Copies of this chain bind each other. A is one copy, B any other.
Amino acid sequence: MSRLKTGAQRASHETPDYADTAASDLPLHRMPGHHIRRLQQVAVRLFAEEANVDLTPVQYAALFAVAQRPGVGQAQLAALIGYDRATIGGVIDRLEQKKWLARVASVEDRRVNLLTITDEGREALSRAAASVRRAQERIIEPLNEDERAAFERMCLKMLAHHLG
């Protein structure tokens, strides 16, 4: 049986007034998870808007990481940038199709695909750099310098706690 009083809802503008919410005293606009999800949507959109290369945020991260660590395996790469082993396979497939990444079977460990970036991949990465930077700046554009630093610090704090 619910205690929800539906009578309280009138037409309000953007933020609905979730008044009298007995079932949950946590309206959506008070949930960090909700904000984070929407920020993620915004970040992806801005990335796509700025992009001058056919790269998604995920593909960029993967390509960037392989450039830093040539010869990394798929599982290692996944751990490095925070992906699932299952997900990374498809990402690499698409980067391989574009000839920006190459899988090479390891001789030491025949289970492993050694990943390397191609010259075209490096070129794409280089070409994308500026627009990626712009996208990142646009996300935090409404924050002042202090807030940007604080935001980064808090993000890292939460990530260290939950992932570390």
Stoichiometry, as copies per complex, reads 2
Provide the A1-40 mask, 1 if CB < 8 A to any CB of B, else 0: 1101010010000101010010111101111111111111
Is A98 interfacial (CB-CB < 8 Å)?
Answer: no
A82-B41, A158-B142, A159-B39 known; A26+B129 contact, CB < 8 A: yes
Residues from chain B with Cβ under 8 Å of A69 in the complex: 9, 16
Asked whether A23 lies within 8 Å of B129 as measured between CB atoms, the reply is yes
Count residues of chain A with CB under 8 A from any CB of chain B.
76
A positions within 8 Å CB-CB of B: 1-2, 4, 6, 9, 14, 16, 18, 21, 23-26, 28-47, 57-58, 61, 64-65, 67-70, 80-82, 119, 122-123, 125-126, 128-129, 132-133, 135-136, 139-143, 147, 150-152, 154-164
